[in-house]
Amino acid sequence: MNSNRTHREDMNTARTPLPVVLAGARGHGRSHLLNIRRLEERGLVRLAGVCELRPLDAAELDGVGDPEQSADLPALLASTGARIAVLSTPIQTHTDMTLTAARHGAHVLLEKPPAPSYAEFRRMTEGVEAAGVACQIGFQSLGSHAVPAIRRMVEEGAIGELLGVGAAGAWVRDEAYFRRAPWAGHRRLDGADVVDGALTNPLAHAVATALTLAGCSRAEDVEHIETELLHAHAIESDDTSAVRVVTSAGTQVTVAATLCAERSSEPYVIVHGTRGRITFWYRQDRVLVQRAGHGPVETEYGRTDLLENLVGHVTDGEPLWVPPAATGAFMRVVEAVRTAADPLDIPAAHWHTAPGESAPRRVVDGVDALVDASADGLRLFSELGAPWARSTRIEAR
């Protein structure tokens, strides 16, 4: 038996669980509620408070006791003495809510994307640093143990010289998805930036993971960006888009994403080398290595939960897996999307309507194959001959 592990487990058992406040417990926030319950069972945390406009009922709180509930986050943080705040709220609220938690001395797990603009991201990171608290950004894919393993393989030359990284995300979302919240499908709302697009929110993990695997995680690692932003649905933001990032090292990173696929598939990232490639299905922690002179090797990796890692950081000084600085390059992409021209309409001749889960959906003809071809060839939609795509180059500074 590992005596060090046993000692750590004994210490965890003896500790008082850290009080946690969850802001935003419905929708995607439900996954955070269930994860908090899992960590409660291990004695690591205690759900001290829930911040929601409408209180959770007994059924929604099943298994997590009877936490204090309030729509007033500052009052809830003060009354509960929360050590950690988990924030799963609308994108445009992220910076202010993070700074509110920081002022109360609470460490933060912040849902992605961290902020709707690079200026708001800077304001958030500077405020957190000044308050002396930790902030973890909720890119769960970056907690995968496959990420450092792939980075090591690339650095050790397992697939030869790095040529580029491509990512593909093809999901199905119906019209109800864009009505799920007042801010959904918007670039701006009531004068505030939201930037709820395919690249920046639902398939943001594809962008962040591809950048990280290319060794481009910090803001200063980005040289320039090209975007192709489009939509088939009648929304303000993009639902079918591509981006190319050229890193300061000269590496190309492309991501093609759509919410208008014929069928949903597992998003993935391909790391291209001169002697092979590595494919990473980041939601499954699954990696396929294909290289010259070797048979294909598939491996499934473990994953570190980001809230659990934040608890370990607060109690034992464990390094954070996804501190804000590790998402700076991703935020450069958000800024490029925010400042780009509004998305182009995909003409009705190039999409058709199909039944959705709870409402009709729009399917862009042939987009599933285009998304795969983009990741395979590091090309944007316009470069693949899509008649509805137009490229816009934005210099990142």
Helices (H), 15-173: 29-41, 73-80, 94-103, 118-131, 146-155
Looking only at the bridges linking them, the beta strands covering 268-273 and 68-70 are: unpaired
Q: Residue 390: which pLDDT band, with cuts at 50, 70 and 90?
A: confident
Mean pLDDT, residues 235-247 taken together: 98
Tell me the CA distances in angstroms from 207 to 13, 88, 114, 203, 372, one per residue in order.
38, 20, 13, 7, 15
Mean pLDDT, residues 211-218 taken together: 98
Q: For 321, which DSSP code? A: S
Question: Distance between CA atoms of 279 and 270, rounded to whole angstroms?
Answer: 4
Q: For 30, which DSSP code? A: H
Q: Is the dihedral of CA 137, 138, 139, 142 positive or negative?
A: positive
Residue 397 scores a pLDDT above 80: no
pLDDT, one tens digit per residue, over 146-202 is 999 999 999 999 999 999 999 999 999 999 999 999 999 999 999 999 999 999 999
pLDDT, one tens digit per residue, over 308-335 is 999 999 999 999 999 999 999 999 999 9
Residue 59 scores a pLDDT above 70: yes
Residue 375 scores a pLDDT above 80: yes
- Please tell me the predicted confidence (pLDDT) of residue 6: 40
- Please tell me the predicted confidence (pLDDT) of residue 64: 83
Residue 15 scores a pLDDT above 70: yes
Mean pLDDT, residues 11-29 taken together: 85
Tell me which of 132-141, 295-304, 308-317, 382-391 is least confident. Answer: 382-391
Residue 143 scores a pLDDT above 90: yes
Cis peptide before 324 (omega within 30 of 0): no
Average pLDDT, the chain: 94
Tell me the CA distances in angstroms from 146 to 150, 166, 182, 285, 310, one per residue in order.
6, 16, 36, 6, 19
Question: Distance between CA atoms of 202 and 304, rounded to whole angstroms?
Answer: 21
Hunting for tokens 């092979």 — which residue is that? 276
User: Taking the CB of residue 316, how many other CB atoms lie within 10 A of it?
Assistant: 11
Nearest alpha-carbon partner for 89 in 108, 61, 66: 108
Q: Two tokens at 221?
A: 């690692």
| Residues 118 and 145: beta-carbon distance below 8 Å | no
Q: Two tokens at 151?
A: 């980075």
| Residues 225 and 244: beta-carbon distance below 8 Å | yes
Mean pLDDT, residues 59-78 taken together: 93
pLDDT, one tens digit per residue, over 242-281 is 999 999 999 999 999 999 999 999 999 999 999 999 999 9
Q: For 142, which DSSP code? A: G
Residue type, 309: N
- Using DSSP's 3-state secondary structure scheme, residue 25 falls into coil
Residue 244's beta-bridge partner residues? 226, 254
Mean pLDDT, residues 114-137 taken together: 98
Residue type, 152: R
- Please tell me the predicted confidence (pLDDT) of residue 2: 43
Hunting for tokens 């040289």 — which residue is that? 223
State the pTM of this model. Answer: 0.94
Residue 13 scores a pLDDT above 60: no
Q: Residue 93: which pLDDT band, with cuts at 50, 70 and 90?
A: very high
Residue 207 scores a pLDDT above 80: yes
Find all residues with CB under 8 Å of 338, minimum gap 6, and list them. 116, 117, 187, 193, 195
Question: Distance between CA atoms of 360 and 338, rounded to whole angstroms?
Answer: 28
pLDDT, one tens digit per residue, over 96-108 is 999 999 999 999 9
Q: Residue 396: which pLDDT band, with cuts at 50, 70 and 90?
A: low
- Using DSSP's 3-state secondary structure scheme, residue 324 falls into helix
Question: Distance between CA atoms of 105 and 152, rounded to whole angstroms?
Answer: 36
Taken in order of first residue, the domains within the chain and their CATH numbers are 3-140 (3.40.50.720), 141-302+324-395 (3.30.360.10)
Question: Distance between CA atoms of 295 and 340, rounded to whole angstroms?
Answer: 43
- Please tell me the predicted confidence (pLDDT) of residue 321: 98
